[in-house]
Structure 1
């Protein structure tokens, strides 16, 4: 009897794991998504381990070479800027800020969008009308000018910039989650749970939200790229995080005045932004194909 029970549990566990294995297999077949995931993991490991392998601080200056940037050398692999600071060190530490803002901003936007979309889609009626009209108003406001205004009023620290970015890119997630909830709330298992006395919050959190995690995960992944681009644009324009704290955007801003004689200062941060956003988009496409297979 014990053996039969054990075998039954093993069979049920294997069945529950099968969908995840199938999703992982579909994701691994998406070669660009796998490459994107590897690129992101390598970047994350590099910026996390920066203090242990970089010989300089990001604000450390060599006063013997002040005035103009110096080209790459054995001592400074990407050269130095006009203040005598190692460009590679600032690039890696800038990745810490840019990737951190991208990730945490995407998490905030996903949480806000999921909360608003789930309430609107589940309760419908007056809640749906109010929340979706508010979402439409936010969508009608150009994001970059609004962020520029907020950055002017409140000179952002990294934490404040994360809140600003995350609080202004949640609208697409809210509309996506609402559409998912409108469809899922009519399913038989939701009706059965409602007949058994389950209240609204329990229906949302236990029965509907888990079945909408696929599209939400894809939206959250793509929001990382949006957050990175927004932070980089703000810092490049001088409205984001200010030096000496490096970000890829303000490194580009500082290097723009030396493009004619020191292009090696601008190319690495530009390539980092480009390949990071491209990798995030590839991972998002791979997750979408893995969680929502077509045909």
Structure 2
């Protein structure tokens, strides 16, 4: 029964390094994942602290610069937009909004997907059939057009946009968790817990879910990147977070008419989106390799 308990049993063995210590060592050997994590930590610090220390608010205007984008100067390191607002301040504040939307949407999607997948994989039968057919229907709907439709109808605030994105990207997590629960429910340690009287939610929460937490964590990490990309696409198309609140997506949108004349307005938010999603994917790959070593 000790071997069947997987990571939980490994942590309990006194003759071995703890599971989390081994996982950390494997993660630190994954150089792209470490670089991605360092980048994300620095970026998070910049978008949290930056708007507090920069001398402008994101909606402050320099009326002498209204009409066309301003060049990069000592007073405005990334220039100003056509409304005389400091581009660096808006980039930092927009990063705060984009990252918050990505993280919150990923949390909602992971929670919803875990719930659906756990119920389907544990109870099987008619519950599994109903939940998985619903999941298949949701997977068959292209998310971007549906989000565009909902956003166009509701003109969402940030919380509503988070809810919409989270409610439309949970299906991959659900299918992953279903397969994990179907495999783990037949393991010896679950059978032993069932023989001792554990039933339903207790089996799921106390015995199966802790052994599935690694793949779920990886799925949640990758969902952050998907959420950021979806929010950026919506905001770029004008259906996401509405101005004057900046996000990286709507900063790209407002900079696009000035791309030839003022490329310094479009390049930084585009690079932030690209590097953030790439870093998140690197961290997800590193976590997957650390939690599920192959050989």
- Give TM-score, length-normalised by structure 1: 0.95
CA distance in 1, matches of 2:243, 2:48: 20
- Correspondence for 1:136: 136
Q: List 4+ stretches of structure 1 deviating above 4 A.
A: 11-17
Structure 1 counterpart of 2:205: 205
Aligned 1:119-158 pairs, distance under 5 A = 119-158=119-158
Distance in 2 between residues matched to 1:281 and 1:252, nearest whole Å: 22
Distance 1:217 1:35 in 2: 19
3-state secondary structure, aligned to 1:67: coil
Q: Which runs of 5+ in 1 are unaligned?
A: 1-10
CA separation of 1:208/1:79 partners in 2, compared to 1, >3 Å: closer, same or farther? same
User: 1:193 aligned to 2:186?
Assistant: no
Shift of the 147–12 alpha-carbon distance from structure 1 to 2, 3 Å rule, reads: closer
The aligned counterpart of 1:218 is 218
Instruction: Find the aligned partners of 2:107 and 2:211 in 1 and give their Cα distance.
Output: 19
State whether structure 2 residue 22 is matched by structure 1 residue 18: no
1:59-138 matches, within 5 Å, as: 59-138=59-138
**2:241 — aligned with what?**
241
Q: 1:5 corresponds to which residue?
A: none
CA distance in 2, matches of 1:12, 1:117: 28
> Using the alignment, how far apart are the partners of 2:212 and 2:50 within structure 1?
37
| Alpha-carbon distance between aligned partners in 1 of 2:248 and 2:12, rounded to the nearest angstrom | 48
CA RMSD of aligned residues (A): 1.2
Name the structure 1 match of 2:288.
288
Q: Secondary structure at the match of 2:79?
A: coil
Question: Deviation of residue 19 (structure 1)?
Answer: 1.1
Deviation at 1:53, TM superposition (A): 1.2
Counterpart position of 1:260: 260
| Deviations, residues 172-212 of structure 1 (Å, cap 9, x unaligned) | 00000000000000000100111111111000000000000
- On the 8 A contact 2:51/2:92 being kept in 1, the answer is no
- 1:69 Cα shift? 0.4
Please give the TM-score of this superposition, normalised by the length of structure 2: 0.95
- Name the SS for the 2:18 alignment partner: helix
Aligned equivalents of 1:64, 1:52: Cα separation in 2: 24
Structure 1: distance between partners of 2:140 and 2:112:
18
SS of residue paired to 1:225: helix
Answering whether residue 166 of structure 2 is matched by residue 166 of structure 1, we say: yes
1:50 Cα deviation from its structure 2 partner: 2.5
State the Cα deviation string for residues 57-88 of structure 1 (Å, max 9, x = none): 00000001110001111000000000000000
Q: Closer, same or farther in 2 for the Cα pair 1:63/1:178, shift >3 Å?
A: same
Moved more, 189-198 or 203-212: 189-198
Distance change in 2, residues 1:119/1:16 (3 Å):
farther
Q: Secondary structure at the residue paired with 1:49?
A: helix
Contact 2:51-2:89 within 8 A present in 1 as well? no
Flag the 1:33–1:59 CA change in 2: closer, same or farther, 3 A: same
Residue number in structure 2 paired with 1:3: none
Quick one: distance in 1 between partners of 2:71 and 2:15? 59
